[in-house]
Amino acid sequence: MVTCYSCVQEDQFGMYALYSKNKPQSDALLTSHGNGFFKNKQLELGDKMDLASYLLKPIQRMSKYALLLKDLIKECGQSQEQELSDLRTAEEMVKFQLRHGNDLLAMDAIRGCDVNLKEQGQLRCQDEFIVWCGRRKYLRHVFLFEDLILFSKSKKIEGGYDLYIYKQSYKVTTAPHADCLISTIKLGTMK
């Protein structure tokens, strides 16, 4: 059942990342142009939830899918090899979509970057790190692409979203200790 469902739905699950990427723009548009109109419609219909809550539902649902699949995997017996394999495949697909949606959202939030990020290969990971420069330390949001490592400074903006102000980047092949960095990623020690 899971295999059939995940194969049929994989293309549609792919839209989740795009939905996540565009969520900040839809929130801004709703706030700037539609709040009054939709608030009146909500009151007219007697609905307890506003439009912003409905627009958040797909984001929340995908996270719930991941939790549900995790619980199903725990309940599945070792003798049910095919079912267990199918559930793990579905779980990986959902986790990938969650990660991919967050990655697209974060890449869209990079400001002041003079590098074409679409030419740097796949985004392997991103996270906040303390970066030492001499004796000073800085909290930086680091993006590791296949061909580039990018350092940015996080900045909170209205609506709870982050912007990432570009600070510096290095081609991975010319970055100091690039081999060690790539090995670390291959070993899976970085998120």
Element spanning 164, H or E: strand 162-171
Q: Which of 10-14, 81-85, 119-123 has the lowest mean pLDDT?
A: 10-14
- CATH 1.10.20.10 assigned to domain 2-108? The reply is no
Q: What type of residue sits at position 112?
A: G
Q: Which of 51-60, 88-97, 126-135, 182-191 has the lowest mean pLDDT?
A: 182-191
The percent of residues above 90 in pLDDT, for the chain, comes to 26
Q: Confirm if 106 and 143 have CB atoms less than 8 A apart.
A: yes
Q: Confirm if 148 and 170 have CB atoms less than 8 A apart.
A: yes
| CA gap 58, 62 in Å, rounded | 6
Joined tokens for residue 1: 């059942």
Instruction: Give residues with Cβ within 8 angstroms of 77, minimum separation 6.
Output: 84
Domain extents for the chain?
2-108, 111-187
Element spanning 168, H or E: strand 162-171
CATH class of the domain whose range is 111-187? mainly beta
- DSSP labels for 54-121? HHHHHHHHHHHHHHHHHHHHHHS-TT-HHHHHHHHHHHHHHHHHHHHHHHHHHHHTEES--S-GGGS-
Please write the tens of the pLDDT for every residue from 162-186.
899 999 999 987 655 555 554 444 4
Closest CA to 166 of 110, 106, 105: 110
| Average confidence (pLDDT) over 138-165 | 90
